[in-house]
C-alpha cells in the first residue's frame, strides 16, 4: 500500500464530466489499495474570470483582496470534486488552505509555504476517505487567505506529498509528460522518461510550463518523486527524480525558450560601488523578479566611469516597474533607458554539462550557423541561455534541439510505478 | 458618531456597477462621521449557479461540501466590494466567516450563529477603514465552513450589529420597506414606517421575505434597531424596533400569505399517547421544519381510538420527507397518507390582537363572505393563519387587507435617522 498524491490542473477539472473522471481515477487508485490525496486547481477559465472581475472594479486590485477572490476558484473545484467522489460511492472531504493549515508568508498573490500540518489529511484517510485539497491557496499568520501564484497547485501538491511522506506525487496535466523541447515549435521533440530535479528546475524556469518551478524546488528539497502525466490516458509520463536516479547519459536534456521576459537597458550608469546593488535592491523591494543581469563596460562612452546595465524582467511586470526604473535610471545617472519586448531567451539544459567541456561554444556555433545574433548570454552549472530576437525562436530551438542530438537520443527506462 | 452596519443583498451587488454604488454609499456614510461595517450577499444568480453545479454532479450533494461551495459566492462579493471601496480612495478589508470568527453549530446549510468576535472588525475600523464582511457564512468548531440558509446574510448583519453594539443595522434591499401586504397581489398595500420585532417575525415567517426570520429573532433578542430600505434610493424605509417604540395604534399590522407549504394528512392514526410525539420527533430528527399542526378527532371512523393528523411542511422538503412520512404512517397505523400542494396560508398579524377581542371571528367572516373554505386554522398571540385553496390567494389577501382597514390606516412617524 502506498500513499499517493494526485494533482489535477484546471483543464483536468474544466467541466463536470472531467471532474467525474478525476474522481473515478482517484477511486481506482484507492481500490488498488492506496491512500489517495487529491489536489485540484480551479476549473479552467475560472481564475481568469475572477481576475477580470477584479480588474473591471479597479486597475490595480489590492493584493490581499485579490487572493481572497482568487482562492474561491479552487474552493469550488475542491467541493465539487469531493461531491463527485461521494456520488461514485466513496467517502471524500474537501480541505481548504486555512483548514489544513497550509501556513504561508504574507506575500499575497505569490506567497510561499512555510509549514503544512498533515493531521487533517490523515484524519480523512484514516476513515477510508479521499482527501480533496484545494490547491493554490494558503493562510498567513493573520488568518488572511494567500495564493501561491500561477501554477501554485503544483507546489501545494508537492509540499503536501512532502509533509505527509507520500510515496509519489502525480501531476496530471493536459500533456503526457516533459518533452525535450516544445513539440509545437520542433516536430522532432521527444517525451523524456526520466529527468533530474535540477534539469527540470532549469526547464521549468525557462518556460517548459509543465511544472511550476517552486514545486520542483520543494520536490528536490524533500526528495519527492514527481510523475508528470496525462489526465486523459494511462500512459506513463515523465518522472522527475533525484540526480542519482536520473541515469540518462545525455549531455543536454532539453531546449527551452521563454518569450515572457523583456529587456531593460540602463545606458551609461555611473560606475561606482553600490550602484548595481541600489538598482536591484530597489527592484527586489518591489518584489520584481529579475532574470538575466549583464553589466558591460561602456567603452564607447566619453565618460570612462560609466557602464551599461542590461537586465530582463517579466513582461507582465514591465508596466508596473517602468516608473521605478525611470526613477532609478535618473538616480544612478543613466543617460537613457531602453526597453525591448521583442526578445526570446533560448536555453539548453543538462546535467551532462558539468562533465562535458565545450557545450557553450557548440551552442554559439549552432546559432551562428543560422546567422542568429546573440544579444546576451547567461550560464549556470547545467544551463546556457542566450537572448535573441524573438523572430528567430523556432529557427533557434529546432537547430539547437537537433544539433545536440535530442531528436534521436537514447532514453533511460521509466522507473517502476508505485501504482 | 455612530456605528452603522449596512447589509446589501444579492440584487444590490448583482453587477460591478452596483457594487461600486454600494461602495459609494458606505463611503458617504463614513464621511458623515460614522464607522461602517458592510455585509454583502453573493452577487444575484451566483448562489443558484453554484447549487446547479452541485446538483449536476450529484442528486443529493453532501451538506458539508455544499456549504464549502456556496460560501464562495459571498467571498467573491466581499473581496470585490472591498476593492471597489479602495478604488474610491477609502481603505477597506474583506472579512470571511472563518476570519472574524462567526462561530456556528455544524448544521450545514442551515447553521446557527453561536458567537461572533468583534475584534477583527474593530481592528479594521480603528484604521479608519470600512470592514466588508461576507454574509451567509460561518465556521463550526472543526473549522468547517457553514452557511446560514437562504437569506442568511440578514442574520449575519444583525448578529454582527449586536456583537459590536452597532447603533443601527440597515438592510438594503430591492424594495423600499415592509408593506402591509404584497403590493403585487393587493394594489392598496402601503409601506409601514415602523413595526415591532414581534409583528415582523410573524410577517417574515409567513412569507413577507423582506427579512430572514432568524435575523429578526436576533434583532429582538439584542434590541438591534433594523432599518429595511431600498438600495436604489435615499427614501427612508421601514424601521423594525422594540414594541415600546412601535407605537402604531393599529390592530392588524399586515396580511401575509405563504405558498411554500404543502399539507400532509395522516388519516386514522392510532390515538394513544406518544404517537404524535413519535411523528414530529422523527421529522425534527431529520431537521424538517413543520409549520401548522392540527389534530382532529376522527369522529367518522369506525375505530373510535383513531385520529386524523394534519400538518404542513415546506414544499421544497416534501420529496425528501415523503419516504419518511410513508414509513411513519405505517408505524403509527395510518389508514392513508394524503398530500396537497395546492394550498396557501393567509395570515393577519398585529400586536393589537392582544388587546382586541373578536379579530379571529372577523377574519373568518371576511373569508366566508368571499365563499372561501377554511381547511385549517392556527393562532398565536399576534397572528391568525388560515389554510385555504391556493386559487383564492389574491381574493383572500385583498379582502383581509381592506377589510381590516390597512388600505387607509394612519401611520406612525418614522424615528429620527442616526445617519
Q: Say whether B80 and A143 touch across the interface (CB within 8 A).
A: no
Nearest CA-CA partner of B159 in B182, B138, B144, B142: B138
Q: What is the CATH number of domain A343-403?
A: 3.30.2130.10
Of A5, A3, A2, A4, which Cα lies nearest the Cα of A157?
Answer: A5
Domains of chain A by residue range: 3-174, 263-340, 343-403
DSSP per residue over A97-128, as a string? HHHHTEEE-S-TTS--EEEE--HHHHHHHHTT
User: Of all helices (H) and strands (E), which one includes residue A263?
Assistant: strand A261-270
Which tens digits make up the pLDDT trace of A361-376? 899 999 999 999 988 8
Nearest CA in chain A to B68: A79
Percent share of chain A, pLDDT over 90: 64
pLDDT, average across residues B297-317:
74
What is residue B302's predicted lDDT score, i.e. its pLDDT? Answer: 54
Cell of A338: 531602453
Choose the CATH number for A3-174 among 3.40.1190.20, 3.30.540.10, 3.40.50.300, 3.40.1160.10. Answer: 3.40.1160.10
| B292 in Cβ contact with B217 (< 8 Å) | no
Query: What percentage of chain B exceeds 70 in pLDDT?
Result: 92
CB count within 10 Å of CB A389 equals 15
Count of beta carbons in the 10 Å neighbourhood of residue B333: 16
Q: A57 vs B80: CB contact, 8 Å cut-off?
A: yes
Q: Which residue is closest to B61 within chain A, CA to CA?
A: A83
What Cα–Cα distance (Å) separates residue B34 from each residue in A47, B27, B85, B91, B419? 36, 9, 15, 14, 8
Choice among A227-231, B370-374, B393-397, B415-419 with the minimum mean pLDDT: B415-419
Cα-Cα-Cα-Cα torsion B276, B279, B283, B284, nearest 10 degrees, comes to: 40
Chain B residues with CB inside 8 Å of A19's CB? 57
Across chain A, what does the average pLDDT equal?
A: 89
Per the CB < 8 Å rule, is A143 touching B99?
Answer: yes
Taking CB atoms and an 8 Å limit, are A68 and B75 in contact across chains? yes
Strands B102-104, B113-116: pairing is antiparallel
CB contact under 8 A, B75 and A75: yes
Q: Which residue of A has its CA nearest to B143?
A: A99
- The C-alpha torsion from A313 through A317 and A320 to A324, rounded to 10°, is -20
Point out the residue among B57, B78, B86 whose CB comes nearest to the CB of A62: B86
Answer whether residue B419 shows pLDDT above 50. no
3-state secondary structure of A215: helix
Across the range A162-188, mean pLDDT stands at 92
In this prediction, residue A419 carries a pLDDT of: 44
**H-helix or E-strand containing A324?**
helix A315-331
> Mean pLDDT of all residues in chain B?
89
Residues in chain A with CB shorter than 8 Å from the CB of B143 are 98-99
B94 neighbourhood in chain A, CB within 8 Å: 64-65, 68
Mutate: best of A16, A38, A57, partner B, most B CBs <10 A: A57
Q: A54 and B79 in contact by Cβ < 8 A? A: yes
Tell me which residue in A57, A72, A82 faces B83 most closely, judged by beta carbons.
A57
pLDDT tens column, B107-159: 999 999 999 999 999 999 999 999 999 999 999 999 999 999 878 999 999 99
Give pLDDT, residue B214: 86
Closest CA to A79 of B257, B310, B73: B73
Render pLDDT for B36-62 as a digit per residue (tens, 0 to 9).
999 999 999 999 999 999 999 999 999
Most confident of A208-212, A291-295, B147-151, B153-157: B153-157
**pLDDT value for A243:** 78
B232 beta partners: none
What's the confidence (pLDDT) of residue B300? Answer: 52
Give the nearest partner residue to B94 out of A65, A78, A99, using CB atoms: A65
Asked if A20 lies within 8 A of B57 by C-beta distance, the reply is: yes
Please give the pLDDT value at position A299: 55
- Whether A87 and B57 lie within 8 Å, measured CB to CB: yes
Percentage of chain A exceeding pLDDT 70: 92
**Strand-by-strand arrangement of the B306-314 sheet:** B290-297, B306-314, B261-270, B336-340
Nine cell digits for residue A196: 533530474
Closest CA relative to residue A50, chosen from B77, B386, B61 = B77
CA distance A326 to A91: 57
DSSP of A388-414, one letter per residue? EEGGGHHHHHHHHHHHTTTTT---PPP
The Cα-based distances of B140 to A138, B147, B342 in angstroms read 19, 10, 38
Q: Band the pLDDT of B286: cuts 50, 70, 90.
A: confident
Confidence of residue B187 (pLDDT cuts 50, 70, 90): very high
Write the pLDDT tens digit of every residue in A164-175: 999 999 999 888
Taking one residue from A and the other from B, the number of pairs with CB-CB distance under 8 angstroms is 109
Residue A409 has pLDDT above 60, yes or no: no
B375–chain A nearest CA distance, Å? 42
Contacts of A137 in chain B (CB under 8 A): none
Q: What is the pLDDT of residue B390?
A: 96
Count helices and strands in chain A by DSSP H and E runs: 13, 20
Task: Looking at the complex, report in whole angstroms how far the Cα of residue B118 sits from the nearest Cα belonging to chain A.
Answer: 15
Given an 8 Å threshold on Cβ–Cβ distance, is B69 in contact with A79? yes
Q: Spell out which chain B residues touch chain A, with contact meaning CB-CB distance below 8 angstroms.
A: 16, 19-20, 50, 53-54, 56-59, 61-62, 64-66, 68-69, 71-72, 75-76, 78-80, 82-84, 86-87, 93-94, 96, 98-99, 143-145
Give this complex's ipTM.
Answer: 0.76
Closest CA to B251 of B353, B178, B358, B319: B353
Q: What does each C-alpha distance from B105 to A75, A381, A397 come to in angstroms?
A: 21, 57, 60
Confidence at residue A145, expressed as pLDDT on a 0 to 100 scale: 98
> From the list B16, B59, B93, which residue is nearest A53 (CB)?
B16
pLDDT of residue B87: 97
pLDDT of residue A248: 52
CATH classification code of B261-340: 3.30.70.260
- Residue-wise pLDDT for A235-285, tens only, equals 999 999 997 655 556 688 899 999 999 999 998 888 777 787 888 888 888
Q: How far is A382 from chain B (nearest CA, A)?
A: 44
Handedness of CA B272, B274, B277, B283 (dihedral sign): negative
Q: How confident is the model at residue A380 (pLDDT cuts 50, 70, 90)?
A: confident
Tell me whether the omega of the peptide bond preceding residue A103 falls within 30 degrees of 0, making it cis.
no
Q: Residue B221: pLDDT above 90?
A: yes
pLDDT confidence band for B74 (50 / 70 / 90): very high
- CATH for the stretch A263-340: 3.30.70.260
Do B69 and A54 count as a contact with CB atoms less than 8 A apart? Answer: no
Confidence of residue A205 (pLDDT cuts 50, 70, 90): low
Kindly tell me if the per-residue pLDDT of B404 is higher than 70: yes
- DSSP, collapsed to helix, strand or coil, labels residue A332 as coil
Mean pLDDT of A47-53: 96
- Nearest-Cα residue of chain B relative to residue A95: B144
pLDDT digits (tens, 9 = 90+) for B237-257: 999 999 765 555 668 889 999
Provide the 3-class DSSP secondary structure of residue A60: coil
Amino acid at each position: 500500500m502506498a500513499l499517493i498524491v494526485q494533482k489535477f490542473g484546471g483543464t483536468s477539472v474544466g467541466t463536470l464530466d472531467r471532474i467525474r473522471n478525476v474522481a473515478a481515477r482517484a477511486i481506482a487508485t484507492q481500490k488498488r489499495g492506496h491512500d489517495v490525496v487529491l489536489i485540484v486547481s480551479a476549473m479552467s477559465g475560472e481564475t481568469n474570470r475572477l481576475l477580470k472581475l477584479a480588474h473591471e472594479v479597479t486597475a490595480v486590485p489590492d493584493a490581499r483582496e485579490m487572493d481572497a477572490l482568487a482562492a474561491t476558484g479552487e474552493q469550488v473545484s475542491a467541493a465539487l470534486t469531493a461531491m463527485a467522489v461521494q456520488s461514485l460511492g466513496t467517502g471524500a472531504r474537501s480541505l481548504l488552505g486555512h483548514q489544513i493549515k497550509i501556513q504561508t508568508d504574507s506575500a499575497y498573490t505569490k506567497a510561499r509555504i512555510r509549514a503544512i500540518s498533515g493531521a487533517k489529511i490523515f484524519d480523512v484517510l484514516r476513515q477510508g476517505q479521499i482527501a480533496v485539497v484545494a490547491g493554490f491557496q494558503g493562510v498567513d499568520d493573520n488568518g488572511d487567505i494567500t495564493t501561491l501564484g500561477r501554477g501554485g497547485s503544483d507546489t501545494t501538491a508537492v509540499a503536501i506529498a512532502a509533509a505527509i511522506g507520500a510515496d509519489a506525487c502525480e501531476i496530471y496535466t493536459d500533456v503526457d509528460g516533459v518533452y525535450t523541447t516544445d513539440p509545437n515549435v520542433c516536430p522532432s521533440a521527444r517525451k523524456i522518461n526520466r529527468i533530474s530535479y535540477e534539469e527540470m528546475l532549469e526547464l521549468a524556469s525557462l518556460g517548459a510550463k509543465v511544472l511550476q518551478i517552486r514545486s520542483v524546488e520543494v520536490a528536490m528539497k524533500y526528495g519527492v518523486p514527481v510523475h508528470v502525466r496525462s489526465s486523459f490516458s494511462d500512459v506513463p509520463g515523465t518522472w522527475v527524480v533525484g540526480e542519482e536516479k536520473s541515469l540518462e547519459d545525455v549531455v543536454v536534456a532539453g531546449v527551452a525558450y521563454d518569450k515572457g521576459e523583456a529587456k531593460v537597458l540602463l545606458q551609461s550608469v555611473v560606475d561606482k560601488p553600490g550602484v548595481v546593488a541600489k538598482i536591484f535592491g530597489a527592484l527586489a523591494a518591489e518584489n520584481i523578479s529579475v532574470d538575466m543581469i549583464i553589466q558591460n563596460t561602456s567603452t564607447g562612452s566619453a565618460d570612462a566611469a560609466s557602464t551599461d546595465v542590461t537586465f530582463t524582467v517579466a513582461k507582465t511586470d514591465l508596466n508596473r516597474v517602468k516608473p521605478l526604473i525611470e526613477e532609478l535610471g535618473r538616480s544612478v545617472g543613466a543617460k537613457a533607458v531602453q526597453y525591448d519586448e521583442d526578445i526570446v531567451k533560448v536555453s539548453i539544459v543538462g546535467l551532462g554539462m558539468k562533465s562535458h567541456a565545450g557545450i557553450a561554444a557548440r551552442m554559439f556555433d549552432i546559432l551562428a550557423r543560422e546567422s542568429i545574433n546573440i544579444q546576451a548570454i547567461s550560464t549556470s552549472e547545467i544551463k546556457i541561455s542566450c537572448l535573441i530576437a524573438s523572430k528567430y525562436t523556432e529557427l533557434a530551438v529546432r537547430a539547437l534541439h537537433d544539433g545536440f542530438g535530442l531528436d534521436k537520443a537514447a532514453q533511460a527506462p521509466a522507473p517502476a510505478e508505485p501504482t
